[in-house]
Amino acid sequence: MNTVKTRDRILQTSLDLFNDQGERAVTTNHIAAAMNISTGNLYYHFRNKREIISELFRAYENRVRGVLNLPEERSAQITDMQFYLTEIFRGLWEYRFLHRDLETLLLADPQLHEDYRNFYRYCLGQAQSILMALDQAGIIRADREACEDLALNAWIMITSWFSFLHCTQPLTTASGVSESMLEGGIYQVLSLGKPYLTETYREAALALIAEVTTRPDWLDGRMS
């Protein structure tokens, strides 16, 4: 029982440290020290940092896979988009270290890179299906090609939002981006879909968007 708990504690401590300090700055020694355990004890559970990262990626992946499902036995609704995006951005925040230096992480671990590519394909496929369901429900008007383009654009916006903030915004806090700044990305992703809304649903959808998220007017670089 105790070893199971230690394993989970190692994962949680690693996640906290990676998120706060960036994965590159944290060693297994730091993790063990933060937990007051020996590195030997840590290595009993994970052979190296790479294994910890893989396990955290799997947890992140399962979090997102648990969200991106098509509604069963009913048509898609406007509120579904709210659920998908809120949950996805919550996941992004919880595992934010992953998207801070993803390219380096993936280049260092071919297996992780392959897992990530499978995850990408799964997410893109689900996003495409969700958008086509919104089209079928008459909420958006978008053919298959437009749904594919939209899904890809949304993927890039979501996975790049954190890095965009880091590169372009004046960040005053030490740890950088706050959860609410991150959630500003929800508005931008929804803005991709706005022009596809049908007349019937436009007003209701825009009202819902306004409820879910506020336009990130705090963003540096806006005219208004």
Member of 164, 198, 206, 214 binding a copy of itself (CB under 8 A): 164
Instruction: Give the whole-angstrom CA distance, residue 92 versus residue 2.
Output: 30
The answer to whether 197 touches 162, Cβ cutoff 8 Å, is no
121 binds a copy of itself (CB under 8 A): yes
Chain centroid to CA 27: 24
Least distance in Å: CB of 223 to a copy of itself? Answer: 6
Instruction: Using CB under 8 A, count the residues that bind a copy of itself.
Output: 49
Contact by Cβ (8 Å): 142, 131: yes
Evaluate whether 148 touches 129 at the Cβ level (below 8 Å). no
65 interacts with a copy of itself by CB under 8 A = no
User: With the C-alpha atoms ordered 140, 146, 151, 155, is the resulting torsion angle positive or negative?
Assistant: negative
Judge contact between 216 and 188, C-beta under 8 A: yes
47/166 with CB nearer a copy of itself? 166
Q: How far is the CB of 49 from a copy of itself (least distance, A)?
A: 18
Q: Which segment (31-39, 46-54, 84-92, 159-167) binds a copy of itself by CB under 8 A? A: 159-167
State how far the alpha carbon of 26 is from the alpha carbons of 31, 34, 97, in Å: 7, 11, 11
- Residues 25-54 close enough to bind a copy of itself by CB under 8 A: none
With binding defined as CB under 8 A, does residue 71 bind a copy of itself?
no
Residues making contact with a copy of itself (CB under 8 A): 100-104, 106-107, 113, 116-117, 120-121, 124-125, 128, 144-146, 148-150, 152-153, 155-157, 159-161, 163-164, 166-170, 188, 191-192, 194-196, 215, 219-224
